[in-house]
Amino acid sequence: MKIARFDGGRIGIVTEAGITDVTDLAGVESGEWPPVGPLRMIAEFDRLRGPLEEAVASRPAKSLDEVRLETPVPWPNKLIAYPVNYHDHAREMTSTGLANIQGFFLKANSSIIGPADAIETPNIDGREFHHECEIGLVIGKECRGIPVEEAMDHVFGFACLMDITVRGKEERVMRKSYDTFTPIGPWIVTRDEIADPSDIEMRLWVNDELRQHANSRDLIVDMPNMVAIAASAMTLYPGDIIATGTPAGVGPINPGDTVTIDVAGVGRMSLPVIAGRYGANVVFDKPYEFKRGA
């Protein structure tokens, strides 16, 4: 099942026919603040699935062209990310701080945007802003201290995710937490739709140039271990999102570009890049030159 959020917080199920509005059944109030309805829906999905499937079979569907898609989980309790989680990316960054050594970090939830939004580059002089192509895991069940072999039982689904960053040596959390720096969407594909999470192709283009192409089989820390590691340190809640890491090919984006991500079996979304008004601060006054490794 593909679960989308659209037109001011409404919930829809996406099929080949289009999108079917199931906001009433999902228990979500359109326009609510804070927008935590999707978290309740994910937590109660086992009970809701039957009525949602019946609604798709009996209700009319709108064309996706008639709605504005929004990020499916705008208010997760946590946005978790794993750094340097592909060997080829470690080589290009000349990094020894791999995910299986450093563990995870957290990004600001306010960096999340949806597939119809724009990536805004901060007004920081002398810095590059890079794209990172990733898969987002959405947690479905509360968990803490779970064994690796049970970890994927707590995953609700998958989404496309971009991790945008200010390139530099400053704290990773700050460089990756600017508003608009975590596009997630275009919907959540439930776990049962993906036959093998260890074999998912993903690609990213900037304009017409293919920059990144990888498969989840090449992860250093695989998805079950990512969930288990996070849950060893903190309680994971329905709707928490894990960014699984990026492969090689990271590179600059600039205002006027269009960034497109495609995750096989999950979805595809394209976002424009525009110049933002904010971002300059004393931390980024020092120049930094990004150099790829051998």
Report how far residue 51's alpha carbon sits from residue 256's, in angstroms, rounded to the nearest whole number.
Answer: 43
Task: Give 188's DSSP letter.
Answer: E
Cα 130 to Cα 85, 114, 216, 254, 291: the distances in Å are 16, 18, 21, 9, 13
Report how far residue 230's alpha carbon sits from residue 238's, in angstroms, rounded to the nearest whole number.
Answer: 14
Centroid of chain to Cα 92:
22
Centroid of chain to Cα 16:
23
What do you get for the CA distance between the two ends of the chain, in Å?
Answer: 43
**Around Cβ 121, how many Cβ atoms within 10 Å?**
24
* Closest by CA position to 239, among listed 105, 107, 141: 141
Residue 265's SS3 state is coil
The two three-digit tokens of residue 270, written as one number: 């394209």
Helices (H), the chain: 23-26, 37-43, 45-58, 87-92, 99-102, 172-175, 223-233
Q: What is the pLDDT of residue 88?
A: 62
Q: What is the pLDDT of residue 294?
A: 40
* Residues of the chain predicted below pLDDT 70: 88-99, 292-294
Half-sphere exposure of 147 (CA within 13 A, CB side): 2
Report how far residue 243's alpha carbon sits from residue 249's, in angstroms, rounded to the nearest whole number.
Answer: 17
Spatial neighbors of 196 by CB under 8 A, at least 6 apart, are none
* Closest by CA position to 278, among listed 183, 181, 207, 185: 181
CA triple 174-235-145, angle to 5 deg: 120
Residue 132's SS3 state is coil
**Around Cβ 3, how many Cβ atoms within 10 Å?**
25
Report the residue count for the chain. Answer: 294
The two three-digit tokens of residue 168, written as one number: 């530099």
Centroid of chain to Cα 238:
15
Q: What is the pLDDT of residue 102?
A: 82
The answer to whether residues 74 and 183 touch, using CB atoms and an 8 Å cutoff, is: no
The two three-digit tokens of residue 97, written as one number: 């701080």
267 torsion bin: left (phi>0), alpha (psi -120 to 50), beta (else): left
